[in-house]
Amino acid sequence: MIPRLLAFVAGVALLQIQPQLQPPGTVLACMPLALLAAALPLRWRPAGHLLLALALGFGWANLRAGWRMADQLGTQWEGRDLDLQLVVADLPQPAERGVRLRAEVESVAPAGAQVPRHIQLSDYAAERLQQYRPGQRWQVTVRLKRPHATLNPHNFDAESWMLQQNIRATGYIRSARLLDTQVWQPACLLHRLRDQLRHSMQTTLGSRPYAGLVIALVVGDQQAIPQTQWTLFARTGLTHLVSISGLHISLVAGLLAAATFRLWRRSPSLPLRLPARKAALLAGGATALGYALLAGFSVPTQRTLYMLLIAGWALWSGRSLSVWLILCLALACVALLDPWAVLAPGFWLSFGAVAWLVWAGSNRLRPPHWLRHWLNLQWALTLGLAPALLVLFQQLPLVAPLANALAIPLIGSIATPLCLLGVIFPPALLLAHWLIEQTMLPIGWLASWPPLLWQQPEPPPWALLLAVPACIWLTLPRGWPARWLALPALLPLFWPPQPPLASGSYRLTMLDIGQGTAVVIRTAHRSLLYDTGPAFSSEADSGNRNILPYLRGEGVAQLDGLVLSHDDTDHTGGAASVLDGIPTGWLLHSLPGRSPLLARRGTRPLACLAGQRWQWDGVSFTTLAPTAASLSRADLKDNDRSCVIRVSAACGTALLTADIERGSEQQLLAGQAALLPADVLLVPHHGSKTSSGEDFVAAVAPRYALVSAGYRNRYGHPRADVLQRYYQQHSEILRTDRDGAVEMSCTDQGWELQRWRTQQRRYWQID
């Protein structure tokens, strides 16, 4: 049974890495072959059953994905005003300048518009921000677009997340009118209850620092947790305590089951009608189900609920099921009901952690002392989750065992029940918050030790295949021979091989950061970042969302130089996060002297002026603009102050132009025309109509024209007439809104090109 269940889940997972869906007829045509394989002679029948389970998993996931992808926004309806009648389907999420809503569409006008049922909307109208509640029915005018997000190596894949959440279009509200205050549907009533509990807890806790964590432990809403606390949890391995995980549900369900068992046995008549053991099972199962629904039904919540229900059913019916079978049944249930759960890191971490604890605690001749047993489990869990954490996040909190030793008993076992008690007795919330606050004081001290956080490049897939069996071998019981032989297999995981760049070669990566610019240039031993993209809010920007995860995944431990081309927020919005997050050598800039970025500790600012030169590993860098004469003009626009850099080597030349406009282009043509021809050109000003004059494009004559622009941005970049000028020069145009991150490697073999959206193509990505 267990191998077949695992094969079914493998089939579901296999579908989620496909570049396109298979026609239903093709999948159905393969089923007879799988059935035939299951009917093979007895000797080969187990393999046939595995093949059949794999095919069933793949076919089921393909069928479900086809249904979900059919519910999409028609391309002709993107960016147009649509009148929708909808119901608020989840907790409204306050944002910095507005509110985000999940909604279910009931009707649409015009009648022929192709609009999906499940959408996510933003509203920025101040008068409506406090009015939205789950279960309300609204008449709204909206503008929608298909699910699209930035796509970079080592970054969070928001398009995949939207598919998992069944968000089939996003947009914003232009006008709205409330129709009904409450839709009487079970899901709407549940979310209204969650919203009321959240509001009540916010009123009780006020502005206390860990109020967001307390709310998350009750209703699963994590939006109020600030970014600084998320960083703290990640550095100490406590992220699992933030979500309502198996620990919380098992604890609460166990407490209620134990209390029911004791009370039931003391009643003289009740045990005659139903044994106390079965009554406890009913109470525990009902508690687990209620808590899971209250928490939003996340993947760790589902895993625990299914495991508890399956185990409870076995005890009720008198069957004996192994822990491994219960775990695999829960795994298959999650994949069956939600095939996209396998895309979530929490799916693998949640089931992997439980499986590893079961493995580490089994196969012992006798139970060890409780303290030794606990220490063994902590060591085994840290080792067992290391491969997944390094692949998914490229970091491993070495302090996690110590932090968990403190946090699990205090937060998981004491504070969480107090939080739930606070639902009916609000003072308990204050006690729970005080306990969490006191617990986080020593944990914050542990997180302040940088050596206790291991960070490294992302390991290759084959290193993971070596590391998992090596970890299993290392955690075998004492006395097992030659356990040390597993250590060499772990080396590629912790020290992944990095293909070096030869001297005289360089790699240019234009990151996909929406409407803005961020370009990383690496030589054999040096790294340069050209601009840092936009800021999205006071806590989120391109620096911490896109650039730093990319640099960490690529193994860039420090920046030798940072260029801020000019004082526009779509080029400097992530600079503060970059300067805080990675050691940086010098800062070359065209910023005003009052810019706070120049006053940051550890920054060595240098004004960008034409004629500056340096060489790294056989690659030459030259600044072509701005000139001192142009900077002296008071009427000079920020765009024309852009720092223009030429990167050249024997293999080819790249020209980075930021947001220069036609006036600056003419100055470059007049003064430095001989330096303009380039193989790669970062198209000026994102392809706007004020740049890329015909004579400038002809002088550069790029083989590749790189455009950094946001999907359906409000400026209309890049302009069609501008792109036509590059087509006339036979340039290949690469765009972040269509290609994702673009990587250009200049080597002795010439230029090598990689488009991340093509390389990591998945069936849900739009063209």
pLDDT tens, residue by residue, 265-309: 877 666 557 788 888 888 888 988 888 888 877 766 777 788 888
pLDDT tens, residue by residue, 703-733: 999 999 999 999 999 999 999 999 999 999 9
**What is the DSSP secondary-structure string of 419-476?**
HHHTTTSTHHHHHHHHHHHHHHHHHHHHHT-GGGEEE-PPPPHHHHHHHHHHHHHHTS
pLDDT tens, residue by residue, 203-221: 999 989 999 999 988 888 8
Give strand pairing partners of 108: 84
Q: Give dist(CA 439, CA 447) in Å, integer.
A: 13
H or E, element range at 664: helix 662-672
Taking 3-state DSSP, the helix, strand and coil percentages for the chain, each rounded to the nearest 5, stand at 50, 15, 35
Indicate the pairing of strand 137-145 with strand 453-455. Answer: unpaired
Q: Give dist(CA 597, CA 569) in Å, integer.
A: 12
Look up the pTM and report it. 0.90
Closest to 509 in 3D by CA, of 159, 158, 151, 156:
151
The alpha helices in 222-297, defined as continuous H runs, are: 227-236, 239-242, 246-266, 270-273, 276-294
What are the residue ranges in the chain where pLDDT is below 70? 27, 29-31, 33-45, 244-247, 268-272, 299-300, 363-370, 451
Q: Give dist(CA 47, CA 144) in Å, integer.
A: 48
H or E, element range at 372: helix 370-393
- Sign (positive or negative) of CA dihedral 429, 353, 336, 87: positive
Residue 597 corresponds to which amino acid?
Answer: L
Assess contact for 687 and 723: CB atoms under 8 A. yes
Tokens of 88: 């608020």
What is the model's pLDDT at position 164? 92
Q: 264 vs 249, 251, 267, 274, 488, CA distance in Å?
A: 22, 20, 5, 9, 56
Between helix 370-393 and helix 487-494 the angle, nearest 10°, is: 40
pLDDT tens, residue by residue, 35-77: 666 666 666 667 777 888 898 899 899 999 999 999 999 999 9
Q: Give dist(CA 568, CA 290) in Å, integer.
A: 50
pLDDT tens, residue by residue, 728-743: 999 999 999 999 999 9
Q: Residue 222: CB partners within 8 Å, gap ≥ 6? A: 212, 216, 242, 243
The single residue listed with the structure tokens 């914050």 is 444
Tokens of 609: 């002026």
